[in-house]
Structure 1
Amino acid sequence: MYKLLATDIDGTLINSKRELTDTTKKAIYEAYDKSCVILPCSGRGPLPLQDITDEIDLDLPLACFNGALVIKGKSGEILYEKAIDKQDAILAYNEGVKRDVGVIAWTFDNKLAFNEFNKFTEHYLSMANVKREDVIIIPEHMEIFDERISKVLWQDEVENMDEHVAYARNLLKTVDNNAMCATSQPFLLEFTHKDANKAEAIKHVADAFGIEHKDTIGIGDGLNDIPMIEYAALGIAMKNSHRETLDAADYIAPSNDEDGVAYVINKFMLGKE
């Protein structure tokens, strides 16, 4: 049986109604009681994830900002931290402004910054667990890029994202940089350091808990989940995954509306069919 499960949150651990179901919580608790490690992984930071972590209410490790920050349980001990290079953060910001998208940046100390308030950033704010008056407006405070930035995001209509992804990937191939980009939601494209990803989160948490690579599972649905799906001994995509994520997986689990994570825990960690 596997001993470590790294699971994406949105589109994977929680359902399309943004609920953590009783079935999934029961499976997590049973795995925890058997000394298995459940590692929630998200593009979000610790503050926006607080509702989920409070609901689970276990001493679990947590990978935030797509693996740019990995912390150990309720102690908050930092296991890994990797900021995007300043020049790459500014590049992502400037190119996003040119493409007329909502541009968002997070610092490691939970400062949230927007290029402006518009329908995209207003929507993001509703998910961020940050007060409107605390948001930094980047054109008025370009010094934000002197701080350690975990990630820069572009937000736009879903139907425009494939074009943005193609543009950003080509951009990163043509300029000297240490960045990578991937979608975390159908409407969000995220830029991070190339060494800040969910695969790195698995490595550092496995080391911290003394778990061998052969005992690891990575499960998710988005493009930003591909590194951990490819790295883990068993890479699993949800049935509701992006097509590239499905192609990267060893196994396809039921969707997030069918308690897919609970199914995986029961089958591969608890030995239940």
Structure 2
Amino acid sequence: MNYKLIALDVDGTLLHDNHELSEENKNSIKAAASRGAEFVLCTGRGPVNTIPLMEKMGLGGYVITHNGAVTVDIKTQEVIDQFPMDAEGLQPYVDYCREHGIHFDVNTAFGLYVDKADQMSTKVRGMYDEVFLEPLNLPHWSELSEPVVKFSAFGDLDTMNQLEKEWNTWNSPFYMVRSGDFFLDLMHKDASKGEALKRLAASRGIEREHVLAMGNYFNDITMLTFAGKGIAMDNSPIDVKAAADEVTLSNNENGVHHALEKFVIGVK
């Protein structure tokens, strides 16, 4: 199959656990791009720390960010598609996190906001430093200049498991998804990586069967099942592997490189 659009998750898929891009992955992506494949990073990250990765690989085009809530043109940094949330509808979740001491952040397309940014713990500060983000103080909803597109809660595994169980009992107007063991995200009910990828492919005139996607976590399932070929990393939970058509090596073993060699570069 000639894959024209290749969607890659970032953390846990494209990057090693140390958040670095390997030469093997980078070179295979360049080789596939030289054969005409168009790449899109499809990630829970925002554009601010996703676009530099595309530029590092010498790629143009688009990035699908915030778990599908925002799609951005790399060259112009224009938001071409997004799913705005009802920000004030998030207040019960904000109140819950504050009451229970759970860290959270509020995301617009290009902005990241937290409570009392100058009082974050060393652990939380380190999380943002690892992915090159600088949070700002959360203002009143009416003072935000861009629409809110994602709300994320952050904590240890037990805390996030309990939080997910609790919030699943709420009659929520939002789409809730785990984007990692330590993250629980809320977005517009129609937002997902799969929906954003579907809309981008349609805008590019690319049929579903010519789309290949790779990911490793629950927030990747919608894009793995939309794509003509969905590939899970070996470091994926079993439910993610079950949703995929294929399983490649882990992110630390350059699974992206091996999958591209098998399904794109090595195909005559």
TM-score by length of 2: 0.89
Listed one character per residue, the Cα deviations across residues 173-205 of structure 1 (whole Å, up to 9, x for unaligned) are x24x1x111122221111111222111221122
Partner of 2:247: 252
Partner of 1:169: 168
Among candidates 223, 226, 237, match of residue 228 of structure 1: 223
Displacement of 1:53 in angstroms is: 2.4
Displacement of 1:98 in angstroms is: 3.1
Partner of 2:24: 23
Among candidates 121, 126, 146, match of residue 123 of structure 1: 126
After superposition, where does 1:128-139 map in structure 2 within 5 Å?
129-131=132-134, 135-138=136-139
Output the amino acid matched with 2:47. P
Measured at CA, do residues 246 and 97 of structure 1 come closer, stay the same or move farther in structure 2, by a change above 3 Å?
farther
Measured at CA, do residues 9 and 69 of structure 1 come closer, stay the same or move farther in structure 2, by a change above 3 Å?
same
Output the amino acid matched with 2:161. D
The reply to whether residue 48 of structure 1 matches residue 49 of structure 2 is yes
Tell me, in whole angstroms, the C-alpha distance in 2 between the residues paired with 1:272 and 1:15: 26
- C-alpha root-mean-square deviation of aligned residues, in Å? 2.2
The reply to whether residue 68 of structure 1 matches residue 69 of structure 2 is yes
Tell me, in whole angstroms, the C-alpha distance in 2 between the residues paired with 1:11 and 1:51: 17
Measured at CA, do residues 197 and 163 of structure 1 come closer, stay the same or move farther in structure 2, by a change above 3 Å?
same
Listed one character per residue, the Cα deviations across residues 239-267 of structure 1 (whole Å, up to 9, x for unaligned) are 10123212222211110011111111121
Q: Report if aligned partners of 1:12, 1:260 keep a CA contact under 8 Å in 2.
A: yes
Tell me, in whole angstroms, the C-alpha distance in 1 between the residues paired with 2:11 and 2:196: 17
Measured at CA, do residues 9 and 3 of structure 1 come closer, stay the same or move farther in structure 2, by a change above 3 Å?
same
Tell me, in whole angstroms, the C-alpha distance in 1 between the residues paired with 2:112 and 2:236: 28
Among candidates 180, 184, 187, match of residue 175 of structure 2: 180
Displacement of 1:124 in angstroms is: 3.7
Partner of 2:113: 113
Q: Report if aligned partners of 2:198, 2:226 keep a CA contact under 8 Å in 1.
A: no
Partner SS state of residue 269, structure 1: helix
Output the amino acid matched with 1:164. L
Tell me, in whole angstroms, the C-alpha distance in 2 between the residues paired with 1:144 and 1:102: 21
TM-score by length of 1: 0.88
Partner SS state of residue 168, structure 2: helix
Displacement of 1:142 in angstroms is: 4.5
Tell me, in whole angstroms, the C-alpha distance in 2 between the residues paired with 1:154 and 1:263: 33
Measured at CA, do residues 70 and 142 of structure 1 come closer, stay the same or move farther in structure 2, by a change above 3 Å?
closer
Tell me, in whole angstroms, the C-alpha distance in 2 between the residues paired with 1:19 and 1:128: 10
Tell me, in whole angstroms, the C-alpha distance in 2 between the residues paired with 1:89 and 1:145: 14
Displacement of 1:169 in angstroms is: 2.4
Displacement of 1:145 in angstroms is: 6.3
- Tell me whether 219-228 or 120-129 shows the greater mean CA deviation: 120-129
Displacement of 1:211 in angstroms is: 1.1
Tell me, in whole angstroms, the C-alpha distance in 2 between the residues paired with 1:79 and 1:147: 14
The reply to whether residue 204 of structure 1 matches residue 204 of structure 2 is no
Output the amino acid matched with 1:198. K
Which ranges of structure 2 fall in alignment gaps of 5 or more residues? none
Partner SS state of residue 17, structure 1: coil
> How many residues are paired up?
264
Identity of aligned residues (%): 27
Output the amino acid matched with 1:84. M
- Tell me whether 208-217 or 145-154 shows the greater mean CA deviation: 145-154
Tell me, in whole angstroms, the C-alpha distance in 2 between the residues paired with 1:244 and 1:196: 21
The reply to whether residue 58 of structure 1 matches residue 59 of structure 2 is yes
Listed one character per residue, the Cα deviations across residues 35-87 of structure 1 (whole Å, up to 9, x for unaligned) are 11111111111112244223112113211111111123323343311112224
The reply to whether residue 195 of structure 1 matches residue 190 of structure 2 is yes
